[in-house]
Structure 1
Amino acid sequence: MTQQKKVIIIGSGLGGLSCGAILAKNGYDVTVLEQGVQVGGCLQCFSRRGAKFETGMHFIGSAAHGQTLDKLMRYLEIDKTVTLSQLDPQGYDVVALGEKKYAFANGREAFLKQMTEYFPSQHDNLVRYYDLIEEIANASSLHSLKYADSDSPLNMEYQLRSINAVIEEVITDPLLAKVLVGNLPLYAAEKDKTPFATHAFIMDFYNQSAFRVKGGSDSIATALMGTINRYGGEVLTRKKVTRIICDDTHAVGVEVNGKDTLPCDIIISDAHPMRTLELLDTKLIRPAFRKRINHIPQTVGGFSVYLHFKEKTVPYLNYNYYGYQGDTPWDCERYSPESWPKGFLYMHFCPEGDTQYASTGVILSYMQMADVEQWKGTKVGRRGQDYEDFKREKAERLIDVLEEHFPNIRTQIQNYYTSTPLTYLDYTGTEGGSMYGNAKDISLGSACRVPQRTKVPNLYLTGQNINSHGMLGVLVGTIVTCSELLTAKTIYEQIKEANE
C-alpha cells in the first residue's frame, strides 16, 4: 500500500470516478472536483414532470457473471448497488434495413445461428467473421483482463485497417456486410476511417451479453462515489477547476472557481484533452503537442429527443432499435437539410419496478455542430426562440421517422425534450459537441492517440479519449491511467482477487 499522496481528479465522469475508486482503494487521498451540481458526466440522468431520462450510458455489455464488466464492477465494489436488467438474448439489437429487420442474438452459437437464418449462404463467412472478432478481443490484455507486457501484433494490424475493408473481405453478401455494422450509432464509425479493431471490441462486448441499468445509469455514479467515500476520498460539486498550477518541473495544485488554490501531489484530468490543455500555462507542454491534440478529429455530435409516454400505452422495448432511411448504415453523418435524419437509434429507459410498459425513451440521430453553430456561446435556456424553433422542427421530423417504424407512437407521447451538440458541449465539454470525443482514423494512425501520461510528470489524463468511449472503453482507459501509479500487474492481481 502506497503512502498517502494527495490526488486531485478533474471531472466526475465515469473515468474520473473509477480512477478515484481504484486509487482510494490503494491508499491515495482522493478528491474529485466536479464543476456542475450533478456528478457522473454521461452517467447523469435528468427528470422532467416526474419522468426520468438517461443522457448517455443507455446500456452496457459483458456484465453476466464472470464476464469482463462483471469482474470490473466487483473490483470497483459497485456490483451489489447497481441493478441490471438483461436485454433480450435472442435480439438485444434490432437493425431495420429496407423492409426487413435483423436481430442480433447474444453468444457465439446463437449469433451465428440467427444470422445464418437470414443469410444461409454466408454461414462459413460468418464463422470467419466471428472468429476474427473473438481473436482480436482476446488478444487485448486490457479487454480480456489477462495480464501481458504488451498486446498481440494482431491488434496493431486491425487498428490500421478500416471496418468496411475487413468486413467486405470476409463477407461476400453486400447486405450482410451492412447489417453487421447496423449498430454504428454506438460508436459513430466512419467508412474508410474507423479501425476494424474498434468494431471488434464493441461487437464482442455486447455480443457476450447486454443489459440496461434499472432505475438509470446515475446509479453507477452514485455507487462509485460510495466506493471513494468508503476509502476516505471525497467528491465535491460546484468546484470548477480554472487553472492547473505548475512550477518549473511539475504540477503543484489547481485553482478552483477562479480564486481558491488546492495543493496536491498528483492530478488526473477526466476532462476532454483540449479542455485540459486550456487549463495549463507551462513550458512543460510543448506547442507541437498542443497542436497535435487540437487537430485530432472528433466524432459527430448528436440530436436526442427524450420521450415521455402516456401511462401504460407503450409496451417496454427490451432491445435497441436502429432504423435507416436508405439502404446502408454508412455515411449518416453526411446529410443535407432535406435528407436528415438518415438513421436513428431508439431505446427505452428501464424503470426500477415493473417493465411491462415504458415510461420514457430516447431517439438519437447524428447532428453536426455546424447546424447549431450560430447559437454557440449562448447560455442554456437563453438561446432564443429561433433555437427553440429549430429544435422543435428537428424533433417533429425525427418523431415522424420513428412513426414509420412504430405506427401511432406519436399519439402515445405525452411530452418530449431535446438536446443538441451544444448540450453535449455545455455539459461534458467535448470539443464540437462530439458524442464520443476523439475519432479514430486509420489514415492518421498514432496521431489520433492521446497518451495517459503528459510532459508534466505528475499530470495524467483519463476518460473516453484515452482508449474508447462506453463503459468498458472508459474503464480500460482507467486501468491504463492508474497503472502509471500502481502498475498494471498490481491492478490485474487485485481484479483477480476481487473475483475469487
Structure 2
Amino acid sequence: MNNTEVVVIGSGIGGLSCGALLAHYGIDVTVVESHSIAGGAAHSFERNGYKFESGPSLYSGLSYTPSPNPLRQVLDAIGEDLPCVNYDTWGCYLPEGNFDTQVGADQFCDILQRLRGEKAVAEWRKLQEIMTPLGKSAIALPPAALRYDLGAILTMGKFAPALLQQAANVIKLTGPFSRIIDGVITDPFIRNWLDLLCFLLSGLPAEGTIAAEVAFMFADWYRPHVQLDYPIGGSGALVDALVRGLTKHGGKLVLNAHVEEILVENRRAVGVRLRNGQEIKASKAVVSNASVWDTLKLIPPGAVPKFYLQKQQATPECDSFMHLHLGIDAAALPKNLGIHYIVVNDWHQGVTAPQNVVLISIPSVLDPSLAPAGKHVIHVYTPGNEPFAIWQGIERNSPEYALLKQERGEVMWQALERIIPDIRSRCEVTLVGTPLTHSRFLRRHHGSYGPAIAAGQGLFPGATTPLSGLLCCGDSTFPGIGLPAVAASGMIAANTIAPVNQHLKLLNNICS
C-alpha cells in the first residue's frame, strides 16, 4: 500500500467515481477514507435492523442507459448495474395547501389550474417551451467528455457539431436561471416553486443557480413518461457498486485512514501522510475529494501561492443540515404513504431561510429490505439551511448540546407530524444529526452542504490546482450539489489523468 500511481483522498461519490474509473483505465489507484464506512455524505449505516441513508434520497436517470446522468455513465463505464424501483409522485405541504405532484409534462398544470388558474397554467407552458431547447443544449456536451489538458480538443471535439447547433442556447445557460424566467413568469406561486427547485439543486434560489442546472433538471423531470428511481438497498447499494467497480479492476480502498498532509517534493504532490505516520507515495497524481476548505488544510505551507489560498478560503459556503433518522412501527399506516414529501413553512422568508424547508424520505415504502417486517425507516432533514454558527463552540455530549438538538429538531418532528400525526409514539430508533455530526463524521468544514457560488458571481474551480500533481473532485469543483455533480467531477479528474486514447474509447462506449 506504500506505493501507487494515484491516491484519492476521500471515498465520497466523487472520490469513488474517480477511483473506479482510474482502475477501469488500468491505473493503480488507492482511495483512502478517514471514516470506517465508505461513501462520504452518501454512506449508509444500520441500527437495530434499520438501514439509514446519511444523505441522498432523490435519484433520477439511474435506471436506464444511455443516460445523461453522469453517475449512470460512471456505472456503465465500470460495468456495474444498480437495480432500481421506479415511481413518479411525491407529496407537497406548502402554504397554498397540500397536494401530490408528479414528474412529467402535464400533471403540474392540473395543480396550477386548481391553485392559481388559467393564467398560471399559460405561464408554465410558456416556460416549458423555452426550456425544451435549453434542456437539449444542457446535455449536448456530456461531462464525461471533459478533461483539463489539451486532450480535451479531441474528446470534446466529438460533440462539436451538436454544440455549434446549440451555441446560442449554451450562452444562455451560463447565467443565472432568474434571467430565463424574468418577464416570463409573474405568478408568485410559480416563482416560489422554481426558487424551491433551484434551492434543492444548488443550495441557492433562482437568482444564484446557473441556468444549465435547471435546464438539465427540466430535460429529465418534465419529459413524457419519465420516472424517478430508488436504488434497491438505498445509497449503500450505490456506494457498494462503486466500490466493486474500484476493487474488481485492482483499485484499493483503505478505511480508517485519515490524511494529515499531502506530501510535496520539488513543487509537486507526490503522496499523502496518514495520521498514524504512514506515507503513501503516488507516482502520477493525488486527487482530493475533500471540500475546498478541507483540502487547503492538507497542503503544506508555501506549496501553493498565497493568492490561491486566500481565494479558496473565501469561497462562500452553504449552511449545514439537521437530520432526524427514525425506525418506526408501521402498523395501520395508510397504504398510499409516499416515499418523499417537501414541507415549506413560509414563502415570505425565502427558501434559504433557516429551517424553512424540510424534506422527508420514507424509502422503505418502495424498498422493504431497509426495515424489519412491519416497520418503516424515515429520514427527515433540513437541506442546507441550518447555520453552523448556532452550534460552533458547543461541546458534544454536553447538556447544552442535547437541549439544542431537541430545540432545533422540533421543526422536523412538526413537519413529519403533518404526514404521520402519531409519529412520536411509533419510534423504535431515534437519531438526531447536527452540523457538528456532519463536521465530525464527514470531515466537512462547518458541516457545510457545499460551496454557495452564485451564478454570474464566480466560477467553480474545476479539477486543477496550482500545485503540480494535485487534482480535486467533489462538490467544490463542479456546479450543482448532489450525486450527478460529484460523479461528474470524479469522472473529469480521472479522465484528466488517463491517456486520451482510453478516454475516447470510454466515450464511445457510454455516449453512443
TM-score bucket (shorter structure): 0.7 to 0.9
Amino acid at match of 2:39: G
State the partner residue of 2:359.
Answer: 345
**Pair 1:460-2:474 in alignment:** no
**Pair 1:440-2:459 in alignment:** no
How far apart are residue 159 of structure 1 and its match?
A: 3.4
- Helix, strand or coil at the partner of 1:264: strand
Q: CA distance change for structure 1 residues 78 and 113 in 2, over 3 Å: closer, same or farther?
A: farther
State the partner residue of 1:188.
Answer: 203
State the partner residue of 2:76.
Answer: 74
Larger CA deviation: 60-69 vs 93-102:
93-102
Contact 1:47/1:53, CA 8 A, preserved across alignment: yes
Give the counterpart of 1:200 among 195, 215, 218.
Answer: 215
Contact 2:259/2:273, CA 8 A, preserved across alignment: yes
- Helix, strand or coil at the partner of 1:464: coil
- Helix, strand or coil at the partner of 1:189: coil
State the partner residue of 1:98.
Answer: 95
User: Quick one: distance in 2 between partners of 1:361 and 1:100?
Assistant: 23
State the partner residue of 2:378.
Answer: 361
**Pair 1:451-2:462 in alignment:** yes
- Helix, strand or coil at the partner of 1:383: coil
Amino acid at match of 1:106: V
State the partner residue of 2:341.
Answer: 321
Deviation digits for residues 172-197 of structure 1 (CA, Å, limit 9, x no counterpart): 32112222333434532236433333
State the partner residue of 1:421.
Answer: 435
State the partner residue of 2:184.
Answer: 170
State the partner residue of 2:321.
Answer: 302
State the partner residue of 1:370.
Answer: 389
User: Quick one: distance in 1 between partners of 2:256 and 2:497?
Assistant: 28
Give the counterpart of 1:229 among 241, 247, 261.
Answer: 247
State the partner residue of 2:149.
Answer: none
How far apart are residue 145 of structure 1 and its match?
A: 6.1
Q: Matches of residues 224-263 of structure 1 in structure 2 within 5 Å?
A: 224-263=242-281
Contact 1:480/1:488, CA 8 A, preserved across alignment: no
Structure possessing the higher relative contact order (Cα contacts under 8 Å, 6 or more residues apart): 2
Q: Matches of residues 486-497 of structure 1 in structure 2 within 5 Å?
A: 486=498, 490-491=502-503, 493-497=505-509
How far apart are residue 433 of structure 1 and its match?
A: 1.3
State the partner residue of 2:148.
Answer: none
Contact 1:43/1:54, CA 8 A, preserved across alignment: yes
State the partner residue of 1:212.
Answer: 230
Deviation digits for residues 436-466 of structure 1 (CA, Å, limit 9, x no counterpart): x1112135223xx222111122110011221
Larger CA deviation: 292-301 vs 57-66:
57-66
- Helix, strand or coil at the partner of 1:6: strand
**Pair 1:482-2:484 in alignment:** no
Contact 1:314/1:412, CA 8 A, preserved across alignment: no
- Helix, strand or coil at the partner of 1:278: helix
Deviation digits for residues 68-127 of structure 1 (CA, Å, limit 9, x no counterpart): 234442223221xx321112x2x2x33322242354423335555665665433344323
Amino acid at match of 1:230: K
Deviation digits for residues 28-76 of structure 1 (CA, Å, limit 9, x no counterpart): 0011111111111012112222222101121211224233234442223
Q: CA distance change for structure 1 residues 268 and 426 in 2, over 3 Å: closer, same or farther?
A: same
State the partner residue of 2:423.
Answer: 409
Q: CA distance change for structure 1 residues 156 and 101 in 2, over 3 Å: closer, same or farther?
A: farther
User: Quick one: distance in 2 between partners of 1:496 and 1:257?
Assistant: 42
State the partner residue of 2:304.
Answer: 285
Q: CA distance change for structure 1 residues 57 and 369 in 2, over 3 Å: closer, same or farther?
A: same
User: Quick one: distance in 1 between partners of 2:246 and 2:24?
Assistant: 8
User: Quick one: distance in 1 between partners of 2:471 and 2:68?
Assistant: 25
TM-score by length of 2: 0.84
Q: How many residues align structurally?
A: 477
Contact 2:75/2:242, CA 8 A, preserved across alignment: no
TM-score by length of 1: 0.86
Q: CA distance change for structure 1 residues 14 and 51 in 2, over 3 Å: closer, same or farther?
A: same
Q: Percent identity?
A: 20
Q: Unmatched 5+ residue regions in structure 1?
A: 336-340
Amino acid at match of 2:119: S
How far apart are residue 15 of structure 1 and its match?
A: 0.7
Larger CA deviation: 406-415 vs 389-398:
406-415
Deviation digits for residues 178-232 of structure 1 (CA, Å, limit 9, x no counterpart): 2233343453223643333333334444444321222221111111111111111
Deviation digits for residues 332-381 of structure 1 (CA, Å, limit 9, x no counterpart): 4435xxxxx32211111233549996611122123110111132xx4xxx
State the partner residue of 1:398.
Answer: 412
Contact 1:137/1:144, CA 8 A, preserved across alignment: no
Q: CA distance change for structure 1 residues 354 and 477 in 2, over 3 Å: closer, same or farther?
A: closer
How far apart are residue 327 of structure 1 and its match?
A: 3.5
State the partner residue of 1:338.
Answer: none
State the partner residue of 1:33.
Answer: 32
How far apart are residue 404 of structure 1 and its match?
A: 3.6
Q: CA distance change for structure 1 residues 197 and 357 in 2, over 3 Å: closer, same or farther?
A: farther
User: Quick one: distance in 1 between partners of 2:31 and 2:263?
Assistant: 17
Q: CA distance change for structure 1 residues 486 and 144 in 2, over 3 Å: closer, same or farther?
A: closer
User: Quick one: distance in 1 between partners of 2:170 and 2:315?
Assistant: 21
State the partner residue of 2:119.
Answer: 121
Deviation digits for residues 156-178 of structure 1 (CA, Å, limit 9, x no counterpart): 444332x4453343223211222
Deviation digits for residues 3-41 of structure 1 (CA, Å, limit 9, x no counterpart): x97111111110111111111111100111111111110
Contact 2:293/2:312, CA 8 A, preserved across alignment: yes
Contact 1:9/1:267, CA 8 A, preserved across alignment: yes
Amino acid at match of 1:373: Q
User: Quick one: distance in 2 between partners of 1:288 and 1:11?
Assistant: 26
User: Quick one: distance in 1 between partners of 2:99 and 2:141?
Assistant: 31
